[in-house]
Amino acid sequence: MNRRAVITGVGVLAPGGTGVQNFWDLLTEGRTATRRITLFDAGSFRSRVAAEIDFDPAGHGLTPQEIQRMDRAAQFAVVGAREAIADSGLATVAFDPHRTGVSIGSGAGAVRRLDSEYRVVSDDGRLDLVDHAYASRHLYRQCVPSSFAVEVAWATGAEGPATVVSTGCTSGLDAVAHAADLIRDGTADVMITGATDAPISPITLASFDAIKATSTRNDEPRAASRPFDADRDGFVLGEGAAVFVLEELTGARDRGARIYAEIAGHATRSNGFHMTGLRPDGRELAEAITAALDEAHTSPEDVDYVSAHGSGTRQNDRHETAALKRGLGAHARRTPISSIKSMVGHSLGSVGSLEIAASVLAMRHHVVPPTANLHTPDPECDLDYVPITAREHRTDTVLTVASGFGGLQSAMVLSRPDGSAA
Amino acid sequence: MKARTLITGVGMATPHGIGVADSWAATRAGKNAIGRITRFDPSPYPSRLAGEIRDFDPRDHLPDRLVRQTDRSSQLALTAAAHAFEDAGVRPADVPEYGGGVVTAAGFGGIEFGQNELRNLWSRGSRYVSVYQSFAWFHAATSGQISVRHELRGHAGVLVGDQAGGLDALAQARRRIRRGSRLIVSGGVDASLCSWGWAAHLATGQISAGEHPERSYLPFDRAADGHVPGEGGALLILEDERAAIERGADNVYCEIAGYASTFDPRPGDGREPGLRRAIELALADAALGPWEIDLVFADAAATARMDREEAEALIAVFGAFAVPVTAPKTAIGRLCGGGAPVDVVMAALAIREGLIPPTVHVEPSPEYDIDLVTTHPRPASVRTALVIARGHGGFNSAMVVRAVD
């Protein structure tokens, strides 16, 4: 018996407005949510733009204790998980907590709390030996981000396998892939899965400033994230979470669940080359694409839309373009490709899950989101990146890809299981 | 019939030493490696003992450029991984280009590197933050560095499940091998013995305040008052059985026969914790009855509640005093993401050597009806072993290893 994993619920917190509808409106209108950083005074940093969420945890139903205990990223995950459960209708049926697991991705963990806690216990770095008497009693759960899975399990009642997947910038795909694996091999019937990151913090800015990875278009924040554009100058940090209810197909059908998409195939490859460098030929990402398509029993010609990594660094965009040509062959020139990072920024680990959310919405509405700010394509990036405006386009199969530090390359194929509503 | 996943090489970096021979010799002799912290001045803190890896100079094991860009946890892991490859006798040509992968567990990530850069940021300014910070601190650093160093271009994974994460990583490696990978180096290493990491440990309220290295980490003992943290871990070479035979692997330890993980009910729920279910599911996955398990490596959290929960789960599954139980970690401390991989290596060695390593320092409390192997190693025919690992917040993982004929 071939078990299949399908998405039956979606919850999103993204820059530009929380909730799935706001997210989709932003993407299809091609608006950009990048702006001058307001979360703290970023005046002394090289890059001072980011895509932020105007987030009111109490307004989302978090209690004062939950707000004190959880880093912003954990708060995003819990709010996203609740929205996904509500969307799936799972709350109204008797699901078995023992057969329900959690797989949450995060690249940067609780970095905002670590930054602020460190300032206190070290007295702004004056103390080499930190003063533990000033530490929050929740410091361990900030240092070891498995606490994110704990919070989501508590919020949803899951008592099956629970974990955090932290593969850096591929976490958002890899966490959902891990969840799909657990459903397929019979370990779980339902998985609460997705990814969260809230990395906009001084230490994050400083670490990307140090390697000049982020954009310095500080005077034009809305135009700063420009994947595939000749005038791009680095990525723009973002934040957010997307959480899904993943179910085994038969069980989902039996309860009459709305089925968004099947996780039909996925693969991760390492470049075994460099922690931050990419080989220009894109071989490993292409190999991940091929392996994901094989697992999905799908050929390149079936891919209707590619949700790109498209971070907006020169190195990535060229690498990815080469990988798509290698992995999809001639079809790379025929299929629309876009990067929502142009609008919601690059939220490190979580953005892969936001891109899965954008992909399933594209399948639902047969509209593909654009790449904003793409006015003058880099001559080496010569594919159809859907510049500026969204496009109506028949979308039944989506390829979404991610690339990250450590040399990690991931690809996932989403498809419409036969017989599910178009 | 699923192909078996074999352990064909092991590498360790623990407070007992770098390399398997040192670690096993010290463990079987019941040698203590817990002592007063030397990596920073512990005198201002209410707990001052840890299991430290002394005499580890990363430059003895790794090229300078790699040392500069890595946290201690990655340095220890890279060292253990190199030992594991050597132990397995694997040459790069033995593995097809995308057939080899890496899956590690991480708990704290590169916390010591991170403390230094946080200090630079806040005391000197953002321009003083290292160019390596962005990829030395994050939890994927170790998997990334191992894949780069050993040119492993297949699957890569990183799981965070606190102390349980090490088993979850090994299980993901087995899952990927069943889906086509030939070889995966897997396990975990944590190194959190900097003052910043220490403050986090202390915040749990579960760290022993004991002063005496041999009377501090005392699971299943009336004097239990929390654990002693340690640093280190293990990396294992896992191979698909057919691939191992094909390349002529000649150092097979055992197979990973079963695994499961569960999560506890919410605190205050009043229902039974998930540990018994994790053990039962792992046994079922291995197609073994409780009577077929020869040895249990306990999680041994050393708080009254956690010890009682663990003892009750073991008694529920196996019966009172029905199976030998041990926790050699009392000599080295709890290693977070590195702890369970070390126990899996200990289980593999117990099978190979026919010897149960002891739970040193503990005087078992009569309130727990378990056969805890204390003080001296116990000779025994060990064909199967169960390893238990639990993490903060409610993670329960269990893994069964079995001898290969």
Provide, as residue numbers in chain A, all residues whose Cβ is less than 8 Å from the Cβ of B260: 161, 187
Q: Examine the pLDDT at B1 and tell me if it is beyond 60.
A: no
CB A12 within 8 A of CB A242: yes
Mean pLDDT of B94-111: 96
CB contact under 8 A, A163 and B124: no
Q: What letter represents residue B213's amino acid? A: P
CA-CA distance, B324 to B386, in Å (whole number)? Answer: 11
Q: Examine the pLDDT at A257 and tell me if it is beyond 90.
A: yes
Chain segment A391-419, per-residue pLDDT in tens:
999 999 999 999 999 999 999 999 999 75
Instruction: Please name every residue paired with B79 in a beta bridge, in sequence order, or none if there are none.
Output: none
Would the CA dihedral through B155, B159, B165, B168 be positive or negative?
A: negative
Q: At what angle do helices B111-123 and A111-121 cross, to 10 degrees?
A: 60
Partner residue facing B118 (CB), from A118, A129, A141: A118
Q: Which of residues 132-161 of B touch A (CB under 8 A)?
A: 133-135, 137-141, 143-145, 147-148, 150-161
Chain segment A70-124, per-residue pLDDT in tens:
999 999 999 999 999 999 999 888 889 999 999 999 999 999 999 999 999 999 9
Q: Is A159 on the interface with B (CB under 8 A)?
A: yes
Q: Which of residues 282-341 of B touch A (CB under 8 A)?
A: 336
Q: Is B106 on the interface with A (CB under 8 A)?
A: yes
Provide, as residue numbers in chain A, all residues whose Cβ is less than 8 Å from the Cβ of B175: 181, 185
Residue A327 to chain B, least CA–CA distance (Å): 15
Question: Percentage of chain B surpassing pLDDT 90?
Answer: 96
User: Please, is B250 exposed, middle or buried when counting C-beta atoms within 10 Å of its C-beta (0-12, 13-18, 19+)?
Assistant: exposed
Mean pLDDT of B20-43: 94
What is the token pair recorded at A121? 């216990």
User: Please, is B283 exposed, middle or buried when counting C-beta atoms within 10 Å of its C-beta (0-12, 13-18, 19+)?
Assistant: buried
The catalytic site residues of A sit at 169, 309, 346
- For residue A182, what is the nearest residue in chain B, using CA coordinates? B175
Partner residue facing A153 (CB), from B134, B172, B394: B394
On average, the pLDDT of chain A sits at 96
Q: Which of residues 197-216 of A touch B (CB under 8 A)?
A: 202-203, 205-211, 213
CB contact under 8 A, A405 and B155: no
Partner residue facing B172 (CB), from A119, A122, A178: A178
Q: How many CB atoms lie within 10 A of CB B388?
A: 27
Residue B268 to chain A, least CA–CA distance (Å): 11
Q: What letter represents residue B389's amino acid? A: A
pTM for this prediction: 0.98
- For residue A271, what is the nearest residue in chain B, using CA coordinates? B153
Q: How many CB atoms lie within 10 A of CB A406?
A: 29
Q: Examine the pLDDT at A421 and tell me if it is beyond 80.
A: no
CB contact under 8 A, A132 and B198: yes
Instruction: Please name every residue paired with A346 in a beta bridge, in sequence order, or none if there are none.
Output: A237
CB B6 within 8 A of CB B252: yes
On average, the pLDDT of chain B sits at 96
Residue B94 binned pLDDT confidence (cut-offs 50, 70, 90): confident
Mean pLDDT of A360-370: 98
Mean pLDDT of A359-363: 98
CA-CA distance, B98 to B94, in Å (whole number)? Answer: 12
Chain segment A25-77, per-residue pLDDT in tens:
999 999 999 999 999 999 999 999 999 999 999 999 999 999 999 999 999 99
Residue B31 to chain A, least CA–CA distance (Å): 30
Over chain A, what HEC string results?
CCCCEEEEEEEEEECCEECHHHHHHHHHHCCCCEEECCCCCCCCCCCCEEECCCCCCHHHCCCHHHHHHCCHHHHHHHHHHHHHHHHHCHHHCCCCHHHEEEEEECCCCCHHHHHHHHHHHCCCCCCCCCCHHHCCCCHHHHHCCCHHHHHHHHHHCCCCCEEEECCHHHHHHHHHHHHHHHHHCCCCCEEEEEEEECCCCHHHHHHHHHCCCECCCCCCHHHCCCCCECCCCCECEECEEEEEEEEEHHHHHHCCCCCCEEEEEEEEEECCCCCCCCCCCCHHHHHHHHHHHHHCCCCHHHCCEEECCCCCCHHHHHHHHHHHHHHHHHHHHCCCEECCHHHHCECCCCHHHHHHHHHHHHHHHCEECCECCCCCECCCCCCCCCECCCEECCCCEEEEEEEECCCEEEEEEEECCCCCCC
pLDDT for B76 equals 98
Q: What letter represents residue A242's amino acid? A: A
Q: How many CB atoms lie within 10 A of CB A45?
A: 21
B64: three-class secondary structure by DSSP: helix
B192: three-class secondary structure by DSSP: coil
Q: Is B197 on the interface with A (CB under 8 A)?
A: yes
CB contact under 8 A, B156 and A125: no
Q: Which of residues 82-111 of A touch B (CB under 8 A)?
A: 97-98, 101-102, 107-109
- For residue B148, what is the nearest residue in chain A, using CA coordinates? A272
Provide, as residue numbers in chain B, all residues whose Cβ is less than 8 Å from the Cβ of A289: none
What is the token pair recorded at A54? 């105007």
Q: How many CB atoms lie within 10 A of CB A286?
A: 23
Provide, as residue numbers in chain A, all residues whose Cβ is less than 8 Å from the Cβ of B392: 140-141, 144, 146-147, 150
Over B106-126, what HEC string results?
CCCCCHHHHHHHHHHHHHCCH
Q: What letter represents residue A364's amino acid? A: R
Q: Which CATH class is domain B258-402?
A: alpha beta
H or E stretch covering B400? strand B395-402
User: Please, is B387 exposed, middle or buried when counting C-beta atoms within 10 Å of its C-beta (0-12, 13-18, 19+)?
Assistant: buried
CB A413 within 8 A of CB A264: yes
* Residue B245: DSSP 8-state: H
What is the token pair recorded at B199? 């403050």
Name A141's Cβ contacts closer than 8 Å, sequence gap at least 6.
Answer: A69, A110, A147, A150, B392, B393
CB contact under 8 A, B159 and A287: no
First vs last Cα of chain A: how many Å apart?
25
Residue A422 binned pLDDT confidence (cut-offs 50, 70, 90): very low
Instruction: Tell me how far CA of residue B220 lies from CA of A338, B226, B293, B325, in angstroms.
Output: 58, 11, 21, 11
Q: Is A330 on the interface with B (CB under 8 A)?
A: no
The domain locations on chain A are 5-110+145-415
Q: Is B196 on the interface with A (CB under 8 A)?
A: yes
Partner residue facing B203 (CB), from A140, A146, A270: A140
Q: Which of A37, A146, A278 to mutate to test the interface with B (most CBs of B within 10 A)?
A: A146
Name B307's Cβ contacts closer than 8 Å, sequence gap at least 6.
Answer: B219, B220, B224, B300, B301, B368
Q: Which residue has the higher pLDDT, A1 or B275?
A: B275
pLDDT for A418 equals 78
Q: Examine the pLDDT at B260 and tell me if it is beyond 90.
A: yes
Q: Is B44 on the interface with A (CB under 8 A)?
A: yes
User: Residue A201's closest CA among A239, A169, A240?
Assistant: A239
User: For the domain B5-247, what is the CATH code?
Assistant: 3.40.47.10
Mean pLDDT of A9-18: 94
Q: Which of residues 264-283 of A touch B (CB under 8 A)?
A: 267-276
CB contact under 8 A, A203 and B195: no
Mean pLDDT of B201-221: 97
Chain segment A293-320, per-residue pLDDT in tens:
999 999 999 999 999 999 999 999 999 9
CB contact under 8 A, A137 and B205: yes
- For residue A142, what is the nearest residue in chain B, using CA coordinates? B200
Name B180's Cβ contacts closer than 8 Å, sequence gap at least 6.
Answer: none
Chain segment B57-66, per-residue pLDDT in tens:
999 999 999 9
Mean pLDDT of B194-211: 97
pLDDT for B167 equals 98
pLDDT for A420 equals 53
Q: What letter represents residue B371's amino acid? A: D
pLDDT for A419 equals 54
CB contact under 8 A, B264 and A163: no
Chain segment B308-362, per-residue pLDDT in tens:
999 999 999 999 999 999 999 999 999 999 999 999 999 999 999 999 999 999 9
Q: Is B229 left (phi over 0), alpha (psi -120 to 50) or beta?
A: beta
Q: Which of residues 120-139 of A touch B (CB under 8 A)?
A: 121-122, 124-126, 128-132, 135-139
Give the fold, CATH level 3, of A5-110+145-415.
Peroxisomal Thiolase; Chain A, domain 1 (3.40.47)
Q: Are strands A391-392 and A367-368 parallel, antiparallel or unpaired?
A: antiparallel
Partner residue facing B140 (CB), from A122, A208, A408: A408
Instruction: Please name every residue paired with A387 in a beta bridge, in sequence order, or none if there are none.
Output: A371
- Buried b / exposed e across A352-390, counting CB within 10 Å, b at 16+? bbbbbbbbbbbbbeebbbbbbbbeebbeebebbbbbeeb
CA-CA distance, B255 to B7, in Å (whole number)? Answer: 6
- Buried b / exposed e across A259-274, counting CB within 10 Å, b at 16+? bbbbbbbbbbbbbbee
Chain segment B105-136, per-residue pLDDT in tens:
999 999 999 999 999 999 999 999 999 999 99
Q: Examine the pLDDT at A280 and tell me if it is beyond 80.
A: yes
Provide, as residue numbers in chain B, all residues whose Cβ is less than 8 Å from the Cβ of A139: 199-200, 203
Residue A1 binned pLDDT confidence (cut-offs 50, 70, 90): low
H or E stretch covering B199? helix B195-203
CB contact under 8 A, A161 and B263: yes
